Structure 1
Amino acid sequence: MSAFDDRGRAHEAKFARDQEVEFRITARRNRLLGEWAAERMGLTPEETDAYAKAVVQADFEEAGDEDVIRKLAGDLTAANVEIGDAEIRAILNEKTAEARRHFIDSQN
Structure 2
Amino acid sequence: MPEYCIRLDGESPVRDLRQLAQWLRQNPAIRTRAAITLQPAPTAEGEMGGAALDVIALVTETGFSAANLVLAISAWRRTRPSTPGVTIERDGVRVTVDSGDPAEIARLTRALDSE
Q: Shared topology, TM-score over 0.5? A: no
TM-score grouping bracket, smaller chain normalisation: 0.3 to 0.5
Higher strand share: 2
Q: Which structure is larger by alpha-carbon Rg, 1 or 2?
A: 1
TM-score (norm 2): 0.36
TM-score, normalised to structure 1, is 0.37
